[in-house]
Structure 1
Amino acid sequence: MPGLAAALVAVVVSLLVHSVVPMLPAMTIAVVLGIAAVNLPGTAVLCEGPWRAGLNFSGKHLMRVGIVFLGLKLSLGDVMNLGWVSVALIVGVVLLSFAGTYALGKLFRLEGDTPLLIATGFSICGASAIGAMAAVKGTKHSDTVLPVALVTLCGTLAIGVLPLLMNPLGLNPLQFGQWVGAGVHDVGQVVATAQTAGAVALSAAIIVKLTRVMLLAPIVGVVGGMERRRHSRLAQAAVAADPHADVSQTPRFPPVIPLFVLGFLAMIVLRTSGWLPAGLVEAGATAQDVALGAALFGLGASVRIRELLRTGVRATIMALCSWVLIAALAFGAVHLMSV
């Protein structure tokens, strides 16, 4: 309870700061507060002691709750209004971003599931996608900390850098919004970046971004299927090596699509159906902000600056390379959309 209470207080503070300074996304503020909490002498002891269980619970379980409610922001009708060419280009950007970032992770020799988690977060929807992929891969909670920190860093850089490039690159507000939606990682970061160019840019950015978010379920499903086959092969190899082995003790197969991702899909269907009253959709958006904010505070409270500087320099350089790659792919897609 103490850790959950601290996370919820951090969410309130994040939302208040965002209401005063809209340029700062509430989710980014939540991560920063978590990082500050675990690195400042006064609160570091609490993060390592009485708060730890609640912070870990927030980072894992409330993240999944937030992903479910994220589905209420998506309507298939909005996506179809983009046209098949635009949708195909957005899908292409996501797939190339995923493949390129994963290849960069391998090139920079990042360990374990880190390349996969960074690729998922950067190409789809930030920390939410990282949480979903970690669940299907069975990745330890502690191993999601670095990818979340990197997606927060690069998304925050986008808020300050991309608006400065709008005029030099010759982008009108519509094109700028499409570029932001196709190239910036987290939904909140997209909103904060695109709103600098006005309502047209913001609307375009949100629609393109949410189209990317819809690819969360199929990509997680593909990786889940591959992971399940891998476990099956390992189990068969174990039986072949020792026919008398106790197969009841082998780990259970991971789900192809986690239950909370199915919940995410169900929410998309409900939103698309038009059955939900506007008030309920708004309540779902608030629930998503609270759940994801608490989750990101919990994850941020696991980022120790000294360890990050010692072990995360190579990953940070790789993430910045990926950020440039995705921005370039998105820029090319925007020009193709305008043809």
Structure 2
Amino acid sequence: MTQNTELMKLLPGIFIVIAIAVPSWFLGSFVPLIGGPVFGILLGMIIACWKRPAIYEDGITFASKKILQASIILLGFEMNLFNVFKVGSQSLYIMIFTLSAAFLSAWLVGKYLKLPGNTSILIGVGTAICGGSAIAATAPVISANDKDVAYSISTIFLFNIAAVFIFPFMGHVLGMNDMGFGMWAGTAINDTSSVVAAGYSYSHEAGNFATIVKLTRALMIVPVTLTLALIIARKKTSTGNFGIAKIFPWFILGFLAASIINTTGFIPPVVCEFLSHTGKFFIVIAMAAIGLKTHLKHIFNNGIRPILLGLFCWLAVALVSLAVQHYLQIW
């Protein structure tokens, strides 16, 4: 009886976020460079301008936390661990440098701009790994609030759009070959849709290679979130026995397990594809919920600082990727 009561408390809020997520999903399909998650968070923020009854709050909170974690697990079903070996050691070598550049820039510039620590971490992770998915995976680990997520998603979105136009132009100016440009796009552009758009606009071969590199880069979610969990657990206790179990990102283990299942072929590919698409829809649901809990005036109050941080992180990753490639003589 208690479980039924709890479920009934969640249903109104879940219903409203799904009602926002469905049109956002279709809008994202028509305009993939923007994507469903961005539409979801924007529509949510617009609707949040109107006061709503308290009956919706439990379901909205559930969607922004639990459905968000479930989405990351389901996204694992599109990951193939063999891709890590396919792209070779060179891309992994470059990723180490680009991740370091993103996190160092986020820490130093975020500190200089006096941004909240969680906002800096999320923008750094989003720039370093895979945009919105990485932000979604990291937010529960560091206990980021909805405003932090909204700032970060909005910032990453701006540079996703810019990259689609700037990267191919710069690639031609620099005279990059297909492999070099694919490596650059795959390691330095945030979101998968933008990587695909930039890569294939350069050449078919560059697009194929960029996509493989990008999917390999997405797997960096696992070590990064686990490392953050350890750091935060140590900060939260002054004793040697820190409570890692309380904040350990168990859903990341689910993501890894789903990746292994997809790689081994234990589940038919069509089922894995369905589950990964479900995960992407769940992210739209979660972003709609976060939008509903974020007021536009809070975004404007934070000013241009998150965008400046995103710009510095983005430039650092792009330039470091180019520098390491040049050293390795890839292009």
Q: TM-score normalised by the shorter chain: which range applies?
A: 0.7 to 0.9
Q: Identify if the C-alpha distance between structure 1 residues 22 and 317 changes in structure 2 by more than 3 Å, giving closer, same or farther.
A: closer
Q: Identify if the C-alpha distance between structure 1 residues 144 and 234 changes in structure 2 by more than 3 Å, giving closer, same or farther.
A: farther
| Alpha-carbon distance in structure 2 between the residues aligned to 1:25 and 1:174 | 26
Contact 1:121 1:130 survives alignment (8 Å): yes
Counterpart selection for 2:277 from 273, 278, 286: 286
**One-letter amino acid of the counterpart of residue 78, structure 2:** K
Pairs within 5 Å for 1:60-209: 60-209=65-214
Contact 1:94 1:212 survives alignment (8 Å): no
| Alpha-carbon distance in structure 2 between the residues aligned to 1:60 and 1:157 | 30
1:338 equivalent in alignment to 2:325: no
Aligned alpha-carbon RMSD (Å): 2.7
Offset at residue 330 of structure 1 (A): 2.5
Q: Identify if the C-alpha distance between structure 1 residues 256 and 69 changes in structure 2 by more than 3 Å, giving closer, same or farther.
A: same
Counterpart selection for 1:309 from 295, 300, 315: 300
Matching residue of 2:35: 25
Contact 1:149 1:300 survives alignment (8 Å): no
Contact 1:149 1:303 survives alignment (8 Å): no
Write the deviation string for residues 44-81 of structure 1: whole angstroms up to 9, x where unpaired. 334x7554443332222221111111212221211101
Q: Identify if the C-alpha distance between structure 1 residues 17 and 160 changes in structure 2 by more than 3 Å, giving closer, same or farther.
A: farther
Offset at residue 292 of structure 1 (A): 0.8
Identity of aligned residues (%): 26
Normalised by the length of structure 1, the TM-score is: 0.83
| Alpha-carbon distance in structure 1 between the residues aligned to 2:37 and 2:19 | 13
Matching residue of 1:35: 45
Matching residue of 1:248: none
Pairs within 5 Å for 1:211-222: 211-222=216-227
**One-letter amino acid of the counterpart of residue 165, structure 1:** M
Q: Identify if the C-alpha distance between structure 1 residues 228 and 24 changes in structure 2 by more than 3 Å, giving closer, same or farther.
A: closer
Contact 1:4 1:55 survives alignment (8 Å): yes
- How many residues get paired? 320
Normalised by the length of structure 2, the TM-score is: 0.85
Offset at residue 107 of structure 1 (A): 1.9
Write the deviation string for residues 60-115 of structure 1: whole angstroms up to 9, x where unpaired. 22211111112122212111011112221222212222222222111212124222
Contact 2:146 2:294 survives alignment (8 Å): no
| Alpha-carbon distance in structure 1 between the residues aligned to 2:40 and 2:194 | 13
**One-letter amino acid of the counterpart of residue 229, structure 1:** R
Contact 2:81 2:263 survives alignment (8 Å): yes
Contact 2:64 2:289 survives alignment (8 Å): yes
